[in-house]
Amino acid sequence: MDLDILLGAQVPPLRDGEPLCLSPTLLRAWSTRTQQVDTGEAAALAVLHRTDPAHSPATFSHALGELFLPAGGRRRRSRGRGRARPGTAALAPDAAPRKRPADAELGLSKRTRRSATRAELEPEPEPEPEPVPTAAPAAPRTTAHQRVSAHVVSRACERCVRDGRPEWLLPLRTLLESGAVSATLCPPLLPALCLAAPRERRVLPLLCAFVRHAAEIAEAQLLGILALALRHRRALLDTAAAADADVDAVAAGGGGAGTAASEEVAGWEELIDVIIRVPRNDVFLLQVLRPLALPDCVQLLQRLLQLLATHAQSWRADGIPSVAQVVAWLNVLIDAHFSQLLVHAPAHALLSRLGKLARRHVQLCSATKILKGHVDQASSRSGLPARPPADYSVELLTL
């Protein structure tokens, strides 16, 4: 946490190697800030753990939103049906506009009438507010998860996990997307998400948000989540293949179930993509990938090849891991299970496809190497080449 946020006031810049002497003003601001934090934390815990009436998942989600969302992020409800324009007064609902007497009856000239009308339309100047003396500059604006302590976040997560029902995990979306939750803050949270995601489809986006935003996720935990996603993806694909092979089931109109299964497969594939994007250490990742089951390795290799083929077919592929991340995971996976993949028959077609993609990529890189001379010639100031071309010259350019 920044020193300005901790003290609740603006701190002068620190100098290297010199201690900072806090003034009495900063010490008083620190004491005031600490008292406010303690009071707000006690009030937040009282709201989250109320018993009369007891919270439901909907009311608990609303309480978390009121607690963790910044005030500027909530929609402000406008009072009344409409607002008056600046400089004009709003009429009451039951008040009718009064008719002005005819200016000709009052004996006013046109110039006088125009001046009066302009004076009515122009707003009256508002009085300038009096300056308020301040002892210290205002504290910097904080984010949602900096306004509450880690203890409050931990107690909220424990409350949702303790119930054991999947619908009680849904209110944690606000905490997970704000980045306030870490893997070590509430250890039972990740097992609860992994246990509820296969049973409740709405929990799967929460698991994706946990992997995407939570900090301090160990490589062993990533391996467990990856194995869960690969196992359920394989089961869904096998079920879909068996349903497609059954002609009678297809003729009976099982299209809705197939669409639901494809959406669920897309959800687990999104979780795999999020895991690929997570910052990693290849040394530790190589060690934790060795115990991965061989069928799961084939599923991971298949997904990585799909991502690599997507990048090969389009210049820009948004929403999926980058080429560097995909290639890095391919290197680690092949290094960890090279000998097993060679003797495993279902992996032979995937390895052959990977070899074709690699050769195509090498040929493309070799062909684009000769473009450097053409680009240098085109970007140089002199239009003619340094040496005159021969009478007979053949140049081959492959794209």
Tens of pLDDT along the chain (399 residues) come to 455 555 555 556 666 666 667 677 777 776 776 666 667 677 778 878 787 788 888 888 888 887 776 544 444 444 444 444 433 333 344 444 444 444 444 444 555 555 555 544 455 555 555 544 444 444 444 444 445 678 888 888 998 998 888 899 999 988 888 888 888 988 999 999 999 999 888 999 999 999 999 988 988 899 999 999 999 999 988 888 887 766 454 444 444 555 767 888 999 999 999 999 998 888 888 998 999 999 999 999 999 999 999 988 877 777 889 989 999 999 999 999 999 999 999 999 999 999 998 898 888 888 777 777 777 777 776 666 566 667 777 777 666
The separation between CA 302 and the C-alpha centre of its own chain, rounded to angstroms, equals 26
The span from the first CA to the last CA of the chain, in angstroms, equals 52
Structure tokens given for 10 = 């603006």
Give yes or no for a contact between 308 and 323, defined as CB atoms under 8 angstroms apart.
yes
The separation between CA 323 and the C-alpha centre of its own chain, rounded to angstroms, equals 20
Give yes or no for a contact between 207 and 166, defined as CB atoms under 8 angstroms apart.
no
d(CA 14, CA 153): 31
Structure tokens given for 237 = 């694909």
DSSP state of 185: T
Looking at the whole model, is its pTM more than 0.85?
no
Q: Which residues pair with 51 in a beta bridge?
A: 54
d(CA 44, CA 41): 5
**3-class DSSP state of 51:** strand
Structure tokens given for 57 = 């998942």
Q: Given this model, what pLDDT does residue 10 score?
A: 58
d(CA 70, CA 74): 7
> Buried b vs exposed e over 332-366: b needs ≥16 C-beta within 10 Å?
bbbebbeeebeebeebeebbeebeebeeeeeeeee
DSSP state of 88: S
Give yes or no for a contact between 161 and 195, defined as CB atoms under 8 angstroms apart.
no
Q: How far apart, in Å, are the Cα atoms of 375 and each of 363, 381, 397?
A: 19, 12, 13
